[in-house]
Chains A and B, each alone.
Chain A
Amino acid sequence: MKNIRGQAALEFLAGLSLLIAMSVGAASIVQAEWSRTQCAQAVFKATHTALRGLPLGRSKVRVRIVATHDSITGEAQCGKSKERITLLRLEAARF
């Protein structure tokens, strides 16, 4: 009887540790994707705002804006990932 209960507990612990490992792995992947998406959106919004000649609002992500005659480029470093987006000025855009 005791042995059986011990086996159930062992199986539970083994399952739980597997689940925790999987959860931590999945959480880190989701978190990395999440911060990448947040970064990409912040860079897009900042570049889009700069394209319209409006002042940049406050943002957690520091975006560097480079304006040329034809386009505006925004880039930011978010952790390990680097986001860069180039938006064309209207006269230079091709639709």
Chain B
Amino acid sequence: MRKIQRTDHLIATGSRKVLKGTEGVLSIPLALVMAVVVTAALGSIGLMELQRREIALQLAMDTCVGKAALHLKKTLTLVEAANSRMQMERVTAQAMTVFSPPAMEALKAALQLEASLQDLQIQFWNFKRARWLAERGCATGSVPWPLPELKWVRPLPDFWGQKPLDWLGRQPSEFQIEVDHSPRSSAARVLYTQKKIELTSLTKRNWYAEWTSARFIGMHRSNIR
């Protein structure tokens, strides 16, 4: 026991020196090796966590861009369908002015209802556009490109009632929705296919949404620079 205690101190035995604490299991090199191993393991786990977060971010951005694209598709479909119905109702109303004035009044009310529903759909979309910017797109610290503006205007009503909506200028054939969160981005577009309605000269538009590649990101980044 006494011998062991003695080795705890720096003692000289002839030309050889014994350092204090040599019997300790955890020496400095061992502690260094442990530190390196622990650091490497923690670093790897951290990197893996970063990669997992990147995937989670991509999925979150896809979800919110997808929701916005489907909302836009629904709005475009509903408003254009209401426009088509209104055109037909107005033609019927014009015929009814001669044959059945009470029926014309009913059609006028129907036109008013269609117009109100259209306005409501457009207001919903405008509300989403404002929230999109306020919440920065997906509420993930991303940079959102503003949602497309629906440039519909309603002409003043005439004798037969409300008129269908008109697009101000030329209506685009596709709308792009995009979010950027470097290094990831998410984009979708809403576009239409045109189909001719049988036995008429009219055509029907079918709006659909699909994923696409980011288009505005480069523009946005160059603006930042």
Contact = CB atoms under 8 A, between A and B. Distances in A.
Interface in B12-36: 13, 18, 22-27, 30, 33-34
B25 A41 contact: no
A81 B151 CA distance: 52
B67 interface: yes
A89 B211 contact: yes
Interface stretch (B40-48, B77-85, B94-102, B192-200): B40-48
B67 A91 contact: no
B7 interface: yes
B119 interface: no
B133 interface: no
A37 B18 CA distance: 49
B55 interface: yes
Given A4-B3, A4-B23, A52-B211, A15 B30 contact: yes
Contacts of B67: 95
15 contacts: A1-B13, A4-B4, A4-B23, A5-B23, A12-B25, A12-B27, A14-B25, A27-B40, A30-B45, A37-B48, A52-B187, A53-B212, A91-B208, A93-B70, A95-B63
Interface of B: 3-4, 7, 13, 18, 22-27, 30, 33-34, 37, 40-41, 44-45, 47-48, 51-52, 54-55, 58, 63, 66-67, 69-70, 187-188, 208-213
Given A1-B3, A12-B27, A15-B26, 8 more contacts: A1-B18, A14-B25, A27-B37, A30-B44, A40-B55, A53-B211, A53-B213, A90-B211
